[in-house]
Structure 1
Amino acid sequence: MAATLASPSRLQIASRVLAAVVGGYAFCWGLTAFGLAGLYAAGMAFHDAEHLSAMLAVLAYLGVFLWAVAARSQVRVWAVLLAGGAAMAGAGSLIQSALVA
């Protein structure tokens, strides 16, 4: 006997796609900002820190995208992606302001 799975609604599919694309972008933007500020503060050259952060963010985007599509709880996905991205962007901004002051 095969278990019957309910097909997802259009709203659920749209939420997954938006979480993967938009939420993943927000998360990786925060990761890039935090990585760049942190690596520069640790003494790495600016452009080296920028490129390394961007390369890591591309890999993270792939992982976050796949997780957003495969996760069971869309609420958890949105919370992690948006809150995590905002927290990392905020931390990057704090590090940057500490370097300037």
Structure 2
Amino acid sequence: MSRTTAIPRSPRLRLTARVAAAVFGGYAFAWGVVAAGASLMFAAGMGFHDAEFLASLFGVLAFLTTFLWAFAARRLWVVWTALAGGGALLAATGSLVQSLLV
């Protein structure tokens, strides 16, 4: 009986996949948080530089949280789905809000 899975069998490949998810997926998600947060706070009436600074602080916290979660999660595909999908959704929200403001 053949077992076909997408999970790397080598411990080094598993670790590499986790590190890639933590770094690249976490960066994409944090970038989405900053983009959506800054545009939404500016649209709500906050000054641009204040909104940008506060969103950047939230982005650092989001990156730290997702980085740690990528190593603690049981299933790596859930991490990739949440980080890539969430990052894309947040970036799209930020882009939409910015286009409505201009």
TM-score between the two structures when normalised by the length of structure 2: 0.89
Q: Which runs of 5+ in 1 are unaligned?
A: 1-6
Find the aligned partners of 2:95 and 2:54 in 1 and give their Cα distance: 18
Percentage of identical aligned residues: 54
Q: Alignment length, in residue pairs?
A: 94
Give the Cα separation in 1 of the matches to 2:10 and 2:68.
17
1:42 aligns with 2:44: yes
Q: Which amino acid aligns with 1:89?
A: A
**1: CA distance between counterparts of 2:67 and 2:34?**
16
Q: Where do 5+ consecutive residues of structure 2 fail to align? A: 1-8
Deviations 1:24-51 (A, max 9, x none): 0000000000000000000000000000
Q: TM-score if structure 1 supplies the norm length? A: 0.90
Partner of residue 51 from structure 1, selected from 40, 50, 53: 53
Question: What is the RMSD computed on CA atoms of the aligned residues?
Answer: 1.2
Provide the secondary structure at the position in 2 that maps to 1:36: helix
CA deviations 1:12-34 (Å, max 9, x no partner) are: 11110000011000000000000
Is 2:33 the counterpart of 1:31?
yes
